[in-house]
Amino acid sequence: MSRIAYVNGQYVRHADAAVHVEDRGYQFADGVYEVCEVWQGNIVDAPRHLDRLGRSLSELRIDWPMTRSAVDFVLHQVVRRNRVRNGLVYIQVTRGVSKRDHFFPPEEVAPSIVVTARSTNPAAAAAQAAQGIAVVSYPENRWPRVDIKTVALLPNVLAKQNAKEHGGKEAWYVDADGFVTEGGSTNAWIVTKDGAVVTRPADSGILRGITRAVVLDIIQKEGLTFEERPFSLEEAFDAKEAFVTAATSVVMPVTRVDGKMIGNGHPGSVATRLRELFHTATDLQAV
């Protein structure tokens, strides 16, 4: 079956989907995006993702390309038309198509929207989680507004490629003070030897992850000790466990950082339990 994409008001074959050469997302990375997990025929936490999309648009002074309810409808339609039961749905909104000029385009220029969906392999993800992943640190070099989910991801691409070339699956950014900020496409966590779950505050320096928010809900419900504070690489090396969170990986245990074994080198019980409980705490919308 051919994949289907939504592009500016039309459902088209994925192979034929295209945007204009002067779309500002292409020329300036002048746009934002969201990725939602699709799990067992449900879009996971769509309201929270749309809330964050709205915030990102507002911060960049880009209008919604259509009403929020219409965007929600398109998300469901694209997942349905692609027959995705387990996978991801991606939405991107840019400032629109206009002649190349750093100034905002005229008010009559409408934002552009693209939505795609694809299937993933839950069994492969589960196998990866059972083994854990390796992380490679990378100097923080992004602009300060990483709280906005923009499509300007070149620093993330370079960090993750460096991780791949050094045997890692993910990168961890480290700021000038030696503290981990977040992953190239994930939020970063550790579990101390005392059993405290630690992650950096989302008020600055990181994206306020939707998966992160759900995990915080589970931590509270389970009565786990939680510390919202920065942690250093050295503290991570000495941690009992480490893991990352994102819509693309849910809760993924980390077993090595910069080649150093974390804990006993196997996925820890806290990360494993959080992964098991994750979908019981999410807002599921049937497709």
Return the number of other C-beta atoms located less than 10 Å from residue 178's C-beta.
Answer: 13
Q: Can you read off the two tokens belonging to residue 48?
A: 């929270």
Indicate which residue of 149, 160, 193, 221 is catalytic: 149
Q: Can you read off the two tokens belonging to residue 156?
A: 């993330």
pLDDT (0 to 100) of residue 101: 97
- SS3 at position 84: coil
> Of the candidates 213, 204, 180, 195, which has an alpha carbon nearest to the alpha carbon of residue 282?
213
> Starting at the edge strand that comes first in sequence, how are the strands of the sheet with 112-119 ordered?
10-13, 4-7, 112-119, 87-94, 31-39, 42-44, 284-286
pLDDT (0 to 100) of residue 279: 96
Q: Can you read off the two tokens belonging to residue 153?
A: 């991801």
Distance CA 258, CA 253 (A): 15
Listing DSSP states for 221-269 in one string gives HHT--EEES--BHHHHHT-SEEEEEETTTEEEEEEEETTEEPTTSS--H
Active-site residue flag, 160:
no
Burial class (CB in 10 A: 0-12, 13-18, 19+), 144: exposed
Residues contacting 237, CB < 8 A, separation 6+: 257, 258, 260, 262
Q: Which phi and psi (to 5°) does residue 132 adopt? A: 90, 165
Radius of gyration for the chain, computed over Cα atoms and rounded to the nearest angstrom = 19
DSSP conformation class of 83: T
pLDDT (0 to 100) of residue 16: 96
pLDDT (0 to 100) of residue 139: 98
- SS3 at position 139: strand
pLDDT (0 to 100) of residue 2: 79
Kindly report the CA angle at 131 between 262 and 256, in degrees rounded to 5?
25
> Of the candidates 184, 170, 185, 229, which has an alpha carbon nearest to the alpha carbon of residue 204?
229
pLDDT (0 to 100) of residue 1: 63
DSSP alpha helices (H): ranges in the chain?
24-28, 46-60, 68-81, 122-131, 154-165, 210-222, 233-237, 269-277
Report, as ranges of residue numbers, the positions in the chain whose pLDDT lies below 50: none
Residues 44 and 38: beta-carbon distance below 8 Å: yes
Q: What is the pLDDT of residues 14-67, one digit of tens each?
A: 999 999 999 999 999 999 999 999 999 999 999 999 999 999 999 999 999 999
Distance CA 156, CA 94 (A): 19
Residues 227 and 197: beta-carbon distance below 8 Å: yes
pLDDT (0 to 100) of residue 203: 81
Sort strands 250-257 and 133-139 into parallel, antiparallel or unpaired: parallel
User: How many residues are given for the chain?
Assistant: 287
Secondary-structure breakdown of the chain: helix, strand, coil percentages, each rounded to the nearest 5:
30, 30, 40
